[in-house]
């Protein structure tokens, strides 16, 4: 009974009508399939694929048997070819009218094409009182189908085809524009790093989408000083990417101020971001200024995740927040803190895409795993450590990246090691 109802419903809706837009604000609904019972799948597929030009969209085996789904090349209807067991109730349905109707944009052209391929028609296309044209054909098992033609339906098909082509072209243009945006944003990240005697550092940003809101930068404050900056913009996608570009421009425009008054630098960046963005826009920032000669680091954590400072002896210090986020409030409330780096110390700055990366069970990578990874990879250089930790995070989440992943690793080499390296470089 259920199969009979399915066939009757399918016959009332054409291939193209099944793909039309929902009306009246109702949820989207379309016919999934109509069953066609055949004696042999391989034999039937040759007919539907070679003679009718259909394509196979699914092929599987289930408890009820082998099930092959086929569809017209330009249509959305699916026929499920089922080979029932001999003697079963469904086996008796082979070779009967299917009550499935196909609408052809040009019924005469389709008729001539299929007839030329050996398709057997019970009657050629004939005009009907309702204004359309009607023909019937059978497959190799004798299952019969209706082929319909109508000027009004043809116009509707053409309109749907134009709309589909426009959607495809619009998606193509959007994809192209996003790729250009990705390339532009990639140039906003540091293309090099000022070289220091006592600090080896590197960074990476892997976006979850074409573009994103994570940001990191290396700022040159002269021959002996460098600024390390990492940020996470509110939101995702294009909107976050635009804010990221805004932040980068603001930071770069205030470099002169950052060299002499880091706290005032952050206050200025905060004010500009506040005045030039919507109320809901903000960014967390971790900004650190490192001095090569003294190996001292001054930093401000503006609502960002705690920086991790792995000491040479194995202890880990968390560099917690020292101020509010940037762009949320008119006035930035915060201060700079200072810490002394020693040879063998490793600093890690990161965004939540690292610690919140989840595996198949929903378990996050977490800060503890990040600390363990830093300990495991403390001997290689900063760039190698960044690459190793990135690989661990990506393996942990099995390639299903939900958020941008940004990481900076800085390793204090110490003055003695720096002198040895310098001597080795001399000719």
How far apart are the C-alpha atoms of 357 and 398, rounded to whole Å?
Answer: 10
How far apart are the C-alpha atoms of 71 and 26, rounded to whole Å?
Answer: 26
Nearest by Cα to 304 from 327, 323, 279: 323
Fold classified for 2-149: 2,3-Dihydroxybiphenyl 1,2-Dioxygenase; domain 1 (3.10.180)
Q: What residue segments make up the domains of the chain, in order of their start? A: 2-149, 154-187, 189-425
Q: What are phi and psi of 214, to 5 degrees?
A: -80, 150
pLDDT of residue 87: 87
Query: Structure tokens of 253?
Result: 């425009």
DSSP-derived letter for residue 33 is: -
pLDDT of residue 32: 75
Cα-based angle 110, 115, 119 (whole degrees, multiple of 5): 105
Whether the CB-CB separation of 346 and 413 falls below 8 Å is answered with: no
- The bridge status of strand 65-71 relative to strand 133-138 is unpaired
pLDDT of residue 64: 60
Question: What CATH superfamily is the domain 189-425?
Answer: PPM-type phosphatase domain (3.60.40.10)
pLDDT of residue 415: 58
pLDDT of residue 98: 93
* 346 membership: H or E segment, kind and range: strand 346-350
Whether the CB-CB separation of 304 and 320 falls below 8 Å is answered with: no
Fold equal for 2-149 and 189-425:
no
Mean pLDDT estimate for the chain: 86
Digit-coded pLDDT (tens) for 6-28: 333 333 333 333 334 444 556 66
Question: Which of the residues in the chain have pLDDT under 50?
Answer: 1-23, 417-425
- Around Cβ 314, how many Cβ atoms within 10 Å? 9
């Amino acid at each position: 009974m259920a199969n009979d109802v399915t066939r009757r419903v399918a016959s009332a809706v054409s291939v193209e009508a099944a793909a039309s837009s929902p009306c009246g604000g109702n949820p989207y609904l379309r016919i999934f399939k109509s069953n066609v019972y055949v004696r042999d799948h391989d034999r039937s597929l040759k007919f539907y694929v070679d003679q009718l030009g259909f394509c196979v969209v699914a092929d599987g085996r289930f408890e009820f048997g082998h099930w092959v789904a086929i569809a017209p090349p330009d249509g959305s209807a699916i026929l499920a070819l089922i080979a029932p067991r001999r003697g079963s109730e469904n086996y008796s349905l082979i070779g009967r009218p299917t009550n499935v109707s196909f609408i052809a944009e040009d019924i005469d052209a389709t008729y001539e094409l299929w007839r030329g391929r050996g398709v057997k028609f019970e009657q050629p296309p004939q005009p009907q009182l309702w204004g359309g044209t009607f023909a019937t054909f059978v497959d190799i098992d004798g299952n019969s189908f209706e082929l319909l033609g109508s000027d009004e339906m043809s116009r509707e098909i053409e309109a749907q085809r134009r709309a589909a082509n426009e959607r495809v072209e619009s998606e193509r243009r959007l994809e192209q524009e996003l790729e250009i945006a990705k390339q532009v944003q990639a140039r906003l990240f540091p293309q090099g790093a000022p070289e220091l005697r006592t600090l080896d550092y590197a960074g990476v940003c892997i976006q979850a989408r074409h573009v994103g809101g994570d940001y990191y930068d290396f700022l040159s404050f002269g021959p002996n000083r460098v600024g390390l900056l990492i940020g996470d913009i509110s939101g995702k996608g294009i909107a976050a990417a635009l804010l990221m570009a805004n932040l980068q421009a603001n930071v770069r425009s205030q470099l002169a101020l950052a060299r002499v008054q880091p706290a005032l630098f952050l206050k200025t960046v905060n004010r500009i971001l506040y005045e030039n963005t919507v109320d809901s826009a903000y960014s967390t920032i971790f900004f650190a200024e490192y001095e090569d000669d003294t190996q001292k680091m001054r930093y401000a954590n503006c609502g960002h995740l705690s920086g991790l400072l792995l000491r040479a002896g194995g202890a880990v210090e968390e560099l917690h927040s020292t101020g509010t986020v940037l762009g949320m409030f008119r006035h930035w409330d915060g201060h700079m803190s200072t810490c002394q780096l020693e040879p063998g110390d490793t600093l890690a700055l990161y965004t939540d895409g690292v610690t919140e990366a989840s595996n198949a069970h929903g378990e996050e990578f977490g800060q503890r795993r990040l600390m363990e990874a830093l300990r495991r990879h403390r001997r290689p250089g900063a760039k190698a450590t960044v690459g190793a930790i990135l690989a661990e995070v990506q393996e942990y989440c099995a390639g299903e990246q939900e958020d941008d992943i940004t990481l900076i690793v800085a390793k204090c080499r110490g003055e003695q090691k720096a002198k040895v390296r310098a001597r080795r470089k001399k000719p």
